[in-house]
């Protein structure tokens, strides 16, 4: 039996130029795009030109990931990294090609999406856990572990609108990281937070891999990629430029 859990076959993704500027893959993206497109600075309706022009965010991307691998997806801004993970997480569909995923998928693409500022940390754990696919009994069983990981015990009954960005991130990551999934997709989840918490998050993902789970990790932090990942896929202008052991790939 094959231990390949992720297979991307000739994945390409095309956007219209204007849509590429305001990619509305999520509900929040759609609302933002609609407001920006409705009025210009003079208060008049915008006239969007060039909609027939297109850009390929991904071009014929193919690779496989085996169970338990820690794979870093790296590249400059606009290389196609986030688009690739959105395709893997089923937020958007490829224009051509296909993806096979074997196992329950947990996505940390926009940490904290679904949090309600008026609700307490406790209430948001249950809300966000449900959004991420956890059952109420599963959340209750892991509640103390989630709170301990976030280090927010004394603030757990406080509405999250009073949290700092670091506190918000810790709680959101703690919820998502405790999903019982076979595949974890993480996109720049360590961009915010202090060094100690970043190291704690890396340790959590290492532990997930030791348990046989598979991790795809997007980051511009090459030190974090080198610490966490045993393999790197380098994207350039939507195509794979390199795919191999982390130390070799990062030394080029």
Q: What is the dihedral of CA 163, 168, 174, 179, to 10 degrees?
A: 120
CA–CA gap between residue 51 and residue 117 (Å, rounded):
37
Say which residue the tokens 């993206």 belong to.
29
Which CATH homologous superfamily contains domain 1-38+49-104+181-252? Answer: P-loop containing nucleotide triphosphate hydrolases (3.40.50.300)
pTM of this prediction? 0.75
The 10s digit of each residue's pLDDT in 187-239 is 876 655 677 887 888 888 888 888 888 999 988 888 889 988 999 999 999 99
User: How many Cβ atoms sit within 10 Å of the Cβ of residue 193?
Assistant: 20
User: In this predicted structure, what is the pLDDT of residue 23?
Assistant: 54
SS3 of 241, please? strand
Low-confidence ranges of the chain (pLDDT < 70): 1-2, 18-52, 109-114, 189-193
Mean pLDDT of the chain: 83
* Strands laid side by side in the 70-74 sheet: 105-108, 183-187, 214-218, 70-74, 231-236, 239-245
User: In this predicted structure, what is the pLDDT of residue 203?
Assistant: 86
């Amino acid at each position: 039996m094959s231990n390949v859990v992720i297979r991307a076959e000739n994945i390409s993704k095309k956007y219209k130029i204007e849509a590429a500027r305001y990619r509305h893959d999520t509900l929040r993206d759609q609302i933002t795009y609609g407001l920006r497109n409705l009025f210009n600075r003079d208060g008049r309706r915008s006239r969007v030109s060039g909609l027939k022009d297109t850009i390929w965010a991904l071009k014929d991307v193919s690779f496989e990931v085996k169970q338990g691998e820690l794979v870093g997806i790296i590249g400059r801004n606009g290389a196609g990294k986030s688009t690739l993970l959105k395709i893997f997480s089923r937020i958007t569909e490829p224009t051509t090609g296909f993806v096979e995923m074997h196992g329950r998928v947990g996505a940390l693409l926009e940490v904290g999406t679904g949090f309600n500022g008026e609700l307490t940390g406790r209430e948001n754990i249950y809300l966000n856990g449900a959004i991420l696919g956890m059952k109420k009994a599963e959340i209750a069983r892991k509640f103390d572990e989630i709170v301990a990981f976030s280090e927010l015990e004394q603030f757990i009954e406080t509405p999250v609108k009073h949290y700092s960005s670091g506190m918000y991130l810790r709680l959101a990551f703690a919820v998502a990281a405790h999903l019982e999934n076979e595949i974890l997709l993480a996109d720049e989840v360590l961009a915010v937070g202090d060094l100690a918490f970043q190291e704690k998050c890396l340790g959590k993902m290492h532990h997930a891999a030791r348990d046989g789970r598979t991790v795809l990790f997007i980051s511009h932090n090459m030190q974090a990629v080198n610490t966490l990942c045993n393999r790197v896929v380098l994207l350039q202008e939507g195509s794979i430029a390199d795919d191999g052991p982390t130390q070799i790939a990062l030394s080029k």
